[in-house]
Chain A
């Protein structure tokens, strides 16, 4: 049976690394009575948290892939997407956000808003995802949820409002006070940490009254009736408060804040109640698709079951029974046995097994309703594909996919690994659009590309574990680009007369830098100087030359080619001749156009104790980094800097050793910038020597 849409919640849990996100997910599963034992992420019992299904995640204590899990909380059906916290895997986060309707933003009550929280928040904003905040780890030494709530306001610009007051902090943290019901909540009703309501402890009364007033003040703007009751100082019905919080949250103008400690089983059930009360159901959210028959005009999808089905494949997993495809149904019903059409591959397929996932267990179902997140078996597709009923030509908006910035050559250790490696690569590239692979024509090596060192490392390890493919890796290479810095004219004649039919083509025009796009071709040929049928040949010739620049052999970007004159020969001119001329003309002009090398610059954010800030500044400075700013907060400081990726290899080790392991960093791609002359000369020399050896 398809589920009732109003009782459905599709939520994500987003956080900085080590904020306790996986632990929280685990507790949510526990309290929803789906699993019976709680395992820690770095479990002493060796079982590991249920959501981290991959072995590797268990070992590293981080969550890599997002697994979708369905749980029941009262009458509410919650699909949880466990999103990875490390920035190298942001494509996973972004993909998960695409299919979410709401999110829990988890923060550590000690560390507060960290660099990754800012990244995650930016992503939530990009996809307009309403959120509630959960300030976790209130049992830790130095816990200060109020400060974190202030940071939400200051750093993330969220209208954060405390909905609870913690009862005790640090080791004395035993419960919370709900500011709506004005009751203390303890979690000791039974051995399973059940909820027990009690009166508010007397020592907290004044604080609670004050916080409640702040809360009501903030909420009054979302409900007029509420505002009037506050002004008249009358009793305020709970329903009215709930309605105001829900409205503010859905309009993205309010971020209700909850507190607790997932590890100590404090505050999880009230958080689930908040998910039920304040986060949207699928019909609260407007989803759009692109109409491919109508120049990609936006079409609003309706979350109703009696419309033609539209679904998005957002996650692939290789299970023991073949490929598992996670889909989010946006419109209509997806039924077992029915036929769907894949917009990208233009292929029809039959829906075979349809399952609802609980981490590693699954439940067979016959249909999935609008808004639901389920998985299909044995469908050949890539992640990001749109499935529709045959006849519709809609595509879900393409997801933002960043270009890879780092590459690595890999080589199988033996023959048997070779096939396995190919199989693994095929799988990974389908799963993750930021992970790419190709065979370099010159060196005949397999190259993998990705978003950072760790990103590639994880895939190399997965090859070994999941596919038993042992590979050797080369040194990581930065994805440089080449570009020109000035406009030049070209006029090139290609002539060949060596028996048989000759080749003849002349093309003229100019090459100029182009900021708008990577490549643009304009033809201003008049009077048939080049016959129309050969104009695309010139374009092809130019494009063939773009792939490898002559400075360091990296792709050329930001170029506009204009042709305005040329000549042909009735017999000797051909498509081939013009392509060759195009290629040669490009190469000749390129060298005159003062080519430069561009390198990827990363926005690096380092957090650590103030006592080590000198070391942190120094470490960035040694890496050609530009310190953008630093923020001191108590004993901690955050340093933001732009650093070339090529200088960041091995940074984690350096940082660890120079700060006694107390600092951590994250980075993400920022922009491409010109390489300083001294370094570009080195790169060119290196490239030339490499070519000589061949």
Chain B
């Protein structure tokens, strides 16, 4: 299979279809779940899908080492290319890497302003054509109303799609609702998805979609073996 065909068949097109063309520039999406379920895998898959469509992505993380994140990308890429029997996988891989930058912030108490400044410096000096930013591990319990407003403005100013992950603990989020820690910034979020471990499968539920009522189930799961987003 060639690259174009592969991305066309990606289960992520279902998500785009359900949300009338996807997130859209200037908007923010969040994938929420409990800890250790596979948010990062989802995020990396979404980023990889964008990279495969020749888009430029900056991955922002708060972990200690960039090589861990690189490994995530390597694993997800390997799974995708194996599953779909991608042609010239190595060449595609080398192309993707050029369009991806990982930015790591590992000091305590780094402010959103600092992060956005660094990302801006990267976009202005290196990755001019950045389309999307994925942010893994941001803590939504700390001043998220103010911060997410800033991010939203940033997304608008630079015409970016921004994807977050959010982890919540000790809370049963009822069907169709969003986690408590996202409530304070709900108005700035365009898409919210929840990854839930339900019996045998990890279901990906769409719970907020650009102010529309969500009627349909996405029928998407996270495959526990490959850690890829897949059809039910």
List chain A positions with a Cβ less than 8 A from chain B. Answer: 154-155, 610, 613-615, 617-618, 620-621, 626-634, 637, 640, 673
- Assuming the contacts A154-B65, A155-B64, asked whether A630 and B122 have C-beta atoms less than 8 A apart, the reply is yes
B118 beta carbon closer than 8 Å to chain A: yes
Q: Is the CB of B106 within 8 A of A632?
A: yes
Residues of A within 8 A of B124 (CB): 614
Chain A min CB distance to B130 (Å):
12
- Assuming the contacts A155-B65, A620-B126, asked whether A632 and B103 have C-beta atoms less than 8 A apart, the reply is yes
> Could you list 14 further interchain pairs (A-B, Cβ under 8 angstroms) beyond the known A154-B106, A631-B105?
A155-B65, A613-B121, A615-B125, A618-B125, A621-B125, A628-B66, A628-B97, A629-B66, A629-B101, A630-B101, A630-B102, A630-B104, A632-B104, A640-B66
Chain A min CB distance to B67 (Å):
8
Residues of B within 8 A of A637 (CB): 118
Within 8 A of A (CB), among B71-119: 94, 97-98, 101-107, 110, 114-115, 118
Can you identify 10 A-B contacts, CB atoms within 8 angstroms?
A155-B64, A155-B65, A614-B121, A627-B101, A627-B126, A630-B103, A631-B105, A631-B106, A632-B107, A632-B110
- Assuming the contacts A610-B118, A618-B125, A637-B118, asked whether A626 and B102 have C-beta atoms less than 8 A apart, the reply is no
Residues of A within 8 A of B101 (CB): 627-630
In angstroms, Cα B108 to Cα A634, docked, is: 8
Q: Which residue of A lies closest to B103 (CB)?
A: A630
B69 beta carbon closer than 8 Å to chain A: yes
In angstroms, Cα B122 to Cα A613, docked, is: 8
- Assuming the contacts A627-B101, A631-B66, A640-B66, asked whether A618 and B114 have C-beta atoms less than 8 A apart, the reply is no
Residues of A within 8 A of B1 (CB): none
Q: Which residue of A lies closest to B120 (CB)?
A: A614
Q: Which residue of B lies closest to A624 (CB)?
A: B98
In angstroms, Cα B115 to Cα A630, docked, is: 12
B2 beta carbon closer than 8 Å to chain A: no
Q: Is the CB of B103 within 8 A of A629?
A: yes
Task: Tally chain B residues at the interface, Cβ within 8 Å.
Answer: 25
Residues of A within 8 A of B102 (CB): 628-630
Q: Which residue of A lies closest to B101 (CB)?
A: A627
Most chain A CB neighbours (cut-off 10 Å) among B65, B66, B105, B125: B125
List chain B positions with a Cβ less than 8 A from chain A. Answer: 64-66, 69-70, 94, 97-98, 101-107, 110, 114-115, 118, 121-122, 124-127
Most chain B CB neighbours (cut-off 10 Å) among A154, A614, A633, A634: A614
Q: Is the CB of B106 within 8 A of A633?
A: yes
Most chain A CB neighbours (cut-off 10 Å) among B102, B122, B124: B122
In angstroms, Cα B127 to Cα A628, docked, is: 12
Residues of A within 8 A of B126 (CB): 617-618, 620-621, 627
Residues of B within 8 A of A628 (CB): 66, 70, 97, 101-102
Chain A min CB distance to B201 (Å):
33
In angstroms, Cα B128 to Cα A621, docked, is: 10
In angstroms, Cα B161 to Cα A471, docked, is: 57
The 5 closest A-B pairs by CB, nearest first: A629-B66, A629-B102, A618-B125, A614-B121, A154-B64
Q: Is the CB of A631 within 8 A of B121?
A: no
In angstroms, Cα B29 to Cα A145, docked, is: 40
Residues of A within 8 A of B69 (CB): 629
Q: Is the CB of B110 within 8 A of A617?
A: no
B118 contacts which of A154, A613, A618, A673 (Cβ < 8 Å)?
A613
Q: Is the CB of B104 within 8 A of A629?
A: yes
Residues of B within 8 A of A154 (CB): 64-65, 106
- Assuming the contacts A630-B103, A630-B104, asked whether A617 and B122 have C-beta atoms less than 8 A apart, the reply is yes
In angstroms, Cα B103 to Cα A610, docked, is: 13
Chain A min CB distance to B50 (Å):
17
Chain A min CB distance to B104 (Å):
4
A632 contacts which of B65, B70, B118, B127 (Cβ < 8 Å)?
B118
Q: Is the CB of A617 within 8 A of B125?
A: yes
In angstroms, Cα B121 to Cα A618, docked, is: 9
Q: Is the CB of B104 within 8 A of A631?
A: yes
Chain A min CB distance to B99 (Å):
9
Q: Which residue of B lies closest to A634 (CB)?
A: B107
In angstroms, Cα B124 to Cα A613, docked, is: 11
In angstroms, Cα B101 to Cα A628, docked, is: 6
Q: Which residue of B lies closest to A613 (CB)?
A: B121
Residues of B within 8 A of A620 (CB): 126
Q: Which residue of B lies closest to A616 (CB)?
A: B125
Most chain A CB neighbours (cut-off 10 Å) among B64, B103, B118, B126: B126
In angstroms, Cα B60 to Cα A631, docked, is: 10
Residues of A within 8 A of B65 (CB): 154-155
In angstroms, Cα B106 to Cα A289, docked, is: 43
Chain B min CB distance to A629 (Å):
3
In angstroms, Cα B66 to Cα A631, docked, is: 8
In angstroms, Cα B127 to Cα A618, docked, is: 9
- Assuming the contacts A154-B106, A626-B97, A627-B101, asked whether A632 and B125 have C-beta atoms less than 8 A apart, the reply is no
In angstroms, Cα B121 to Cα A302, docked, is: 58
In angstroms, Cα B67 to Cα A628, docked, is: 9
Residues of B within 8 A of A629 (CB): 66, 69-70, 101-104
Most chain B CB neighbours (cut-off 10 Å) among A155, A610, A629, A633: A629
Chain B min CB distance to A156 (Å):
10
Residues of B within 8 A of A615 (CB): 125
In angstroms, Cα B69 to Cα A610, docked, is: 22
In angstroms, Cα B127 to Cα A629, docked, is: 12
Most chain A CB neighbours (cut-off 10 Å) among B64, B94, B105: B64
- Assuming the contacts A155-B64, A631-B66, asked whether A626 and B107 have C-beta atoms less than 8 A apart, the reply is no
In angstroms, Cα B102 to Cα A631, docked, is: 8
Residues of B within 8 A of A640 (CB): 66
In angstroms, Cα B64 to Cα A617, docked, is: 20
Residues of B within 8 A of A633 (CB): 106-107
Residues of B within 8 A of A673 (CB): 94
In angstroms, Cα B65 to Cα A617, docked, is: 19
Residues of A within 8 A of B94 (CB): 673
In angstroms, Cα B101 to Cα A685, docked, is: 34
In angstroms, Cα B126 to Cα A618, docked, is: 6
Residues of A within 8 A of B125 (CB): 614-615, 617-618, 621
In angstroms, Cα B97 to Cα A585, docked, is: 38
In angstroms, Cα B35 to Cα A140, docked, is: 40
Chain B min CB distance to A89 (Å):
25
In angstroms, Cα B110 to Cα A651, docked, is: 30
B121 contacts which of A155, A617, A626 (Cβ < 8 Å)?
A617
In angstroms, Cα B8 to Cα A4, docked, is: 72
Chain B min CB distance to A504 (Å):
43
In angstroms, Cα B109 to Cα A633, docked, is: 10
Chain B min CB distance to A150 (Å):
9
In angstroms, Cα B70 to Cα A633, docked, is: 19
In angstroms, Cα B110 to Cα A631, docked, is: 12
Chain B min CB distance to A666 (Å):
16
Q: Is the CB of B98 within 8 A of A630?
A: no
Q: Which residue of A lies closest to B109 (CB)?
A: A634
Residues of A within 8 A of B110 (CB): 632
In angstroms, Cα B103 to Cα A473, docked, is: 40
In angstroms, Cα B123 to Cα A614, docked, is: 9
In angstroms, Cα B64 to Cα A437, docked, is: 43
In angstroms, Cα B66 to Cα A627, docked, is: 12
Q: Which residue of B lies closest to A673 (CB)?
A: B94
Q: Is the CB of A632 within 8 A of B66?
A: no
In angstroms, Cα B100 to Cα A626, docked, is: 9
Residues of B within 8 A of A621 (CB): 125-126
Residues of A within 8 A of B105 (CB): 631-632
Q: Is the CB of B64 within 8 A of A630?
A: no
Residues of A within 8 A of B103 (CB): 629-632
Chain A min CB distance to B70 (Å):
7
In angstroms, Cα B113 to Cα A326, docked, is: 56
Residues of A within 8 A of B98 (CB): 626
Residues of B within 8 A of A627 (CB): 101, 122, 126-127
Q: Which residue of A lies closest to B99 (CB)?
A: A626
Residues of B within 8 A of A614 (CB): 121-122, 124-125
Residues of B within 8 A of A618 (CB): 125-126
Residues of B within 8 A of A610 (CB): 114, 118
